[in-house]
A and B are shown apart, each in its own frame.
Chain A
């Protein structure tokens, strides 16, 4: 084999060894470098994605809660305003009613008092009339000094009273 042939020639054994070495390097790199590294990168990516998803979910939850609270708060405000308004209305109504009732009662009392007064006055008048008539009879009896029979007496009294009543 000349030098040139040696320099540029193909050696089948060398080729076979080279092939074996390439295949070994390929398999080793694939199994021990690329597979674990890629797996690690993918795992980390997945974890980060998971974390982001969780964070987003938590944020959404918080947003929903906030909206819920805001809604409830405004609802409570509305309710309280309504309650106050109702209470005010009720109180107004009640006070009006009380006043009206009081006025009614007062009117009734006044009316009753008026009637009572009139009645008492009449009663007193009658008593006075009968007292006067008795006194007048006594006086008249004394004055006349005669006995009158019952009918005459009555007639006399009536006539006297009519005169008196007209004067009174």
Chain B
């Protein structure tokens, strides 16, 4: 039984300048995501016609949906932030989903990525605040509503990107950790079952008989249901690999790792990736829109 190991992004190679620039898995995935998104963007934005084709209808629908989402969350005057939010959302979504390929590591499972995006959002917020209300009033805003609150306000300002970054990173990386642990556990479980099944010819025969019973003997007059079928197949597979192990052909085949992790992957990669991308961009929108109030509200502090 192998040791469980949870590692960060591995380093493929180092570019030997500036004391070695490490090209990690994250960098490769991130670059790939960038190329994919740019290609998709250029392809979709090409050959637009007044009388749209299928692809153009879908593109326009998508652009319209995300624009209306940004307008709803940030207000009509912040419509020009749509491309940034879209870039953030798609980079995050694709960065999470690229982990499903099994070849590349999710970019969002690296704190460097999420922290960069979070700090980027915070810098935009600060820049916009200072641009809109001026440096003095912005600094003075930290002492409100009372001066005692100043340290709290400063901490909350820094907590904002930290929470953004760790929320996204934690969800994706946590999903990866759990998936790794489940794989490890399933490998152990299948090894244990195989050891049991391949004790002798008798145990193999018993396992095979069990599979036959599960498959063939009707339960309460009904044909075997889906659960019994799955169980029967697994028992048959166990008997098969048990036989192979008994003969000394293959050893410790982790057959339980087939199928079960798919359900987890559906949750941790698809669902969690989508939700976290959405949450990240939604929070970014809210933070930025707080820094960019509508023009009529902007004049309020002065009057």
Chain A residues within 8 Å of B, Cβ to Cβ: 3, 5-15, 17-19, 21-22, 24-26, 28-30, 32-38, 40-41, 43-44, 47
**Per DSSP, are chain A's interface residues mostly helix, strand or loop, or mixed?**
helix
The answer on a CB contact under 8 Å between B60 and A41 is yes
In angstroms, Cα B112 to Cα A17, docked, is: 10
In angstroms, Cα B88 to Cα A3, docked, is: 29
The answer on a CB contact under 8 Å between B86 and A22 is no
Chain B residues within 8 Å of A, Cβ to Cβ: 5-9, 21-22, 24, 26-27, 30-31, 33-34, 37-38, 41-42, 44-46, 48-50, 52, 59-60, 63-64, 67, 82-84, 86-88, 90-91, 107, 110-113, 115-117, 120, 173
Instruction: Give the nearest-CB partner of A17 in chain B.
Output: B27
Knowing A13-B27, A36-B45, A38-B63, the reply to whether A25 touches B111 (Cβ < 8 A) is no
The answer on a CB contact under 8 Å between B120 and A43 is no
The answer on a CB contact under 8 Å between B42 and A36 is no
> Nearest-CB distance from A30 to chain B (Å)?
4
The answer on a CB contact under 8 Å between B107 and A13 is no
The answer on a CB contact under 8 Å between B8 and A7 is yes
> Nearest-CB distance from B266 to chain A (Å)?
24
The answer on a CB contact under 8 Å between A43 and B50 is yes
The answer on a CB contact under 8 Å between A17 and B45 is no
Knowing A3-B8, A25-B91, A28-B37, the reply to whether A41 touches B107 (Cβ < 8 A) is no
Knowing A8-B111, A28-B38, A41-B60, the reply to whether A34 touches B86 (Cβ < 8 A) is yes
Name the B residues within 8 Å of A35 (CB-CB). Answer: 45
User: Contacting B117 at CB < 8 Å: which of A22, A32, A36, A37?
Assistant: A22
Name the B residues within 8 Å of A3 (CB-CB). Answer: 5-8
> Nearest-CB distance from A116 to chain B (Å)?
105
> Nearest-CB distance from A72 to chain B (Å)?
42
Instruction: Give the nearest-CB partner of B92 in chain A.
Output: A22
The answer on a CB contact under 8 Å between A37 and B63 is yes
The answer on a CB contact under 8 Å between A26 and B87 is yes
Knowing A28-B38, A32-B42, the reply to whether A10 touches B115 (Cβ < 8 A) is yes
In angstroms, Cα B82 to Cα A33, docked, is: 11
Name the A residues within 8 Å of B113 (CB-CB). Answer: 14-15, 18
User: Contacting B50 at CB < 8 Å: which of A24, A29, A44?
Assistant: A44
6 contacts between A and B (CB under 8 A): A5-B8, A11-B112, A14-B24, A17-B31, A29-B86, A41-B64
> Nearest-CB distance from B106 to chain A (Å)?
13
The answer on a CB contact under 8 Å between A29 and B37 is yes
Name the A residues within 8 Å of B91 (CB-CB). Answer: 21-22, 25
> Nearest-CB distance from B280 to chain A (Å)?
12
Name the B residues within 8 Å of A25 (CB-CB). Answer: 33-34, 37-38, 41, 87, 90-91
In angstroms, Cα B115 to Cα A40, docked, is: 36
Of the listed residues A11, A14, A15, A19, the one surrounded by the most CB atoms of chain B closer than 10 A to its CB is A14
The answer on a CB contact under 8 Å between A29 and B83 is yes
Name the B residues within 8 Å of A8 (CB-CB). Answer: 8, 111, 173
The answer on a CB contact under 8 Å between B33 and A33 is no
Of the listed residues A5, A26, A35, the one surrounded by the most CB atoms of chain B closer than 10 A to its CB is A26
In angstroms, Cα B23 to Cα A119, docked, is: 156
The answer on a CB contact under 8 Å between B26 and A14 is yes
The answer on a CB contact under 8 Å between B34 and A24 is yes
In angstroms, Cα B8 to Cα A120, docked, is: 160
Name the A residues within 8 Å of B90 (CB-CB). Answer: 25, 29
Name the B residues within 8 Å of A18 (CB-CB). Answer: 26-27, 30, 107, 112-113, 116-117
In angstroms, Cα B111 to Cα A34, docked, is: 29
> Nearest-CB distance from A19 to chain B (Å)?
5
Instruction: Give the nearest-CB partner of A11 in chain B.
Output: B112
Name the A residues within 8 Å of B86 (CB-CB). Answer: 29, 34
Instruction: Give the nearest-CB partner of B86 in chain A.
Output: A29
Name the A residues within 8 Å of B9 (CB-CB). Answer: 6, 11, 14
Name the A residues within 8 Å of B33 (CB-CB). Answer: 21, 25
